[in-house]
Amino acid sequence: MTTDKHGSAPAPSHLNQWRSIGRILLKTAVLLLLFNIIFAALYPMEALGDITLYNWLLRGRERLPYGENPAESYNLSTFNMPAMFASHRLQQPKAADEFRVLLIGDSGTWGWFLENEDTLTAQLNEMGLEDENGRSVHVYNLGYPVMALTKDIMLLEEGMAYDPDLILWPVTLESFPRDKQLFPPLVQNNPKRVRQLITDYDLDLDAQDGRFVDPTFLDSTIFGQRRNLADLLRLQAYGVSWAATGIDQAIPADIPERTSDFDADLSWQTFPEPATLTTADLAFDVLNAGMAIAGDVPILLINEPMFISSGQNSDLRYNAFYPRWAYDQFREMLGETAVAQNWHYLDLWNTIPPEQFTDTPVHLTPEGTRLYAEHISKALQSFLKIED
C-alpha cells in the first residue's frame, strides 16, 4: 500500500463513492417524504382534475367518462368530479344564441349499449329545437350509470356552474329507495360533497355512513393516490383514441335481452311482499333538494319509459325491476307530489313499445330512444314558449 508524504493511507475511492450515494439516497428519501406530506396536507386531487387536454387539444367527450373495459372503450371510470367535467364538451363556452339544457339521470340517460349518435341527448339535438327568442337548444348529457337520486343531484350541483337554461331529469322508482342513496361508488368516493348536500338540504341520510370512503393520511399521499393519479393520466391518454374514433363504450354484437317471464314473486327491494310505501322508504327529500339546487332554472321532471311485460306472471310484475304494487304506488306518489309542488312533470312510463327495450327495463334501442326523444320534444316545444 502506498502512503502520502505524512505516511498515512488515503481513504479508498470506492468508500467515498458509497458515502456519496448514501447521502443522495437519504436526501431523495427525505424529499419524497416531504413531497408526500405536503401532498397529503394540500390533497390537490380535485385541482389536478381540472388539468386536461380535452376541449382544446382533444375534442370534449359527449358523455361523462365511465368504462369497465378501458382498452376496448377508450374510456374509464374516475371518481374525480372536476376531471369528469373537464373532459366533457360542456366545458365549451356558451354561445350567445345557445339555450343550454342539461340532461341528468341513470344509465339509460347516459346511453347504455348506445352509440353517441343514438343517445337521448344526440337525438334531441338532431331535432333543431329553438326557443321563442331564436336561441338554439343544445342538450348536454350528464347522465351517469348506477341508479340513485343522490348521485343525480351531486352531478346537477356541479353542472349548475355551466349556466344552464333548463334541466331535464328522467327518474324511475329504482332511483328512489332510501337505502340505495349512498350505494353508487361515485357517491361513496365523494364524501365531502355528499355530506355538504346532506347538511345544506337536511336530507334524511346518514352523513357518517360506513360506505363513505374517507381517505386516511397515508391514503392522501402521492403513494396512496398513485392509482387515482394514474387514472387521471390514462383519461387523457384515452382521449386521443376517443377523439380519433368516437368510441367510448364496448357494445357487444349480441346485446342480452331483458327478462319477460317471472316467478310468482311480489318482492321489491327490502319488502318481501306488498306494503304501503311512504316517504321514509322513498327519497322524495332528495328529489326536492334537486329542485332547490336548480334554483330559478326550471326542471322538467320525467317519469322515464320502462319495459312492460306480457309474459308469465306479468299480472304480478311489470318487469324484472318492479312488482305492480310497488310501481303503481310510486307513480301515484310522484304525480301527486309534482302537482302539489307545481313542478313541470312529464309521465312517459308506458309510451315505448316493449320490443324497443334491450337488457334491462330502462335501456332502450336506438329506435326506442328516438321515440322517447319525440315525446320529450313535444313537451319541450311548449315548455320553451312558456318559460321565455
CB atoms within 10 A of CB 53: 15
pLDDT per residue as tens digits for the range 110-124? 999 999 999 999 999
Is residue 58, in this structure, part of any structural domain at all? Answer: no
How far is Cα 139 from Cα 121, in angstroms, rounded to an integer? Answer: 6
Q: How far apart are CA 83 and CA 232, in angstroms?
A: 7
| Residue at 9 is within a domain | no
Question: What residues are paired with 139 via a beta bridge?
Answer: 101
- Give a yes or no: residue 265 inside a domain: yes
Three cell numbers, residue 125: 339535438
Residue pLDDT, tens place only, 200-235: 999 999 999 999 999 998 888 888 899 999 999 999
Residue 31 lies in a domain: no
Is residue 129 within 8 Å of 166, Cβ to Cβ? no
User: In angstroms, what CA-CA distances link 145 with 7, 168, 223, 297, 381?
Assistant: 80, 16, 29, 24, 28
Q: Once rounded to an integer, what is the mean pLDDT over residues 67-83? A: 90
323 class by beta-carbon count within 10 Å (0-12 exposed, 13-18 middle, 19+ buried): buried
- Residue 287 within a domain: yes
The pLDDT value given to residue 35: 66
Picking from 238, 114, 104, the residue whose alpha carbon sits closest to that of residue 171 is 104
Banded pLDDT at 36 (limits 50, 70, 90)? low
User: Of 9, 333, 359, 39, which Cα lies nearest the Cα of 172?
Assistant: 333
Amino acid at 53: L
Residue 308: inside a domain: yes
pLDDT tens across 320-347, in order?
A: 999 999 999 999 999 999 999 999 999 9
**Is residue 274 scored above 90 in pLDDT?**
yes
Q: What is the C-alpha separation between 244 and 165, in angstroms, rounded? A: 31
Q: How many domains does the chain fold into?
A: 1
Q: What cell was used for 169?
A: 331529469
Q: How far apart are CA 101 and CA 104, in angstroms?
A: 10
In a domain, 41, yes or no: no
Residue 328 in any domain: the answer is: yes
Tens of pLDDT, residue by residue over 147-173, are 999 999 999 999 999 999 999 999 999
List phi, psi (to 5°) of 316: -100, -35
CATH number of 309's domain: 3.40.50.1110
Domain of 322 in residue numbering reads as 94-213+255-387
pLDDT in tens, 40-62: 676 788 999 999 999 999 999 99
Chain-centroid distance of CA 231 in Å reads 16
